[in-house]
Amino acid sequence: MYEFTKDSGKTTIAPDVLVDITRLAALGVEGVARLAPIPGGVNRLFRRGSSEGVQIIVEGNTVDADIYIILYPNVSIREISREVQTRVARAIEEMVGMEIGSIHIHVEDITINPQPSA
């Protein structure tokens, strides 16, 4: 559990909550096909705040995230990465009130399946 204290009291947040917020925000960006497995084999299984595609590290009231994504073809990797960073930061700040340290985007692959039409 992650705990942080503000003037009004203490908040305790389960690691899976931060991971789920991050996953949903990243998957909500147009151009992101899905999340990729975190490289590292067995070592990643013993880290707190890790899930497929997302690793969260919390120090005090600051959240750092590594997000592993697979993109659709013919998208701007730079624009998609920046949008994922923006949405994840906004979601965490607004939903749980924690500060963002860094958000690292790891583009692991481009899917061969074209983006579904709307």
Q: pLDDT value at position 7? A: 66
In the chain, the number of structural domains is 1
| CATH, residue 19 | 3.30.70.1350
Cα distances from 76 to residues 30, 41, 42, 50, in angstroms, run: 11, 29, 32, 27
Q: Give the model's pLDDT for residue 115.
A: 63
Instruction: List the one residue out of 98, 96, 80, 90 whose CA is nearest residue 30.
Output: 80
Which segments of the chain have a pLDDT < 70?
1-7, 41-51, 114-118
> Which residue, chain included where needed, has tokens 């299984």?
45
pTM score: 0.82
Instruction: Name the DSSP letter for residue 98.
Output: P
Give the structural domain span for 90.
2-109
Task: Output the pLDDT for position 102.
Answer: 96
Per-residue pLDDT, 77: 96
Cβ proximity of 103 and 85 under 8 Å: yes
Q: What is the pLDDT of residues 67-100, one digit of tens each?
A: 999 999 999 999 999 999 999 999 999 999 899 9
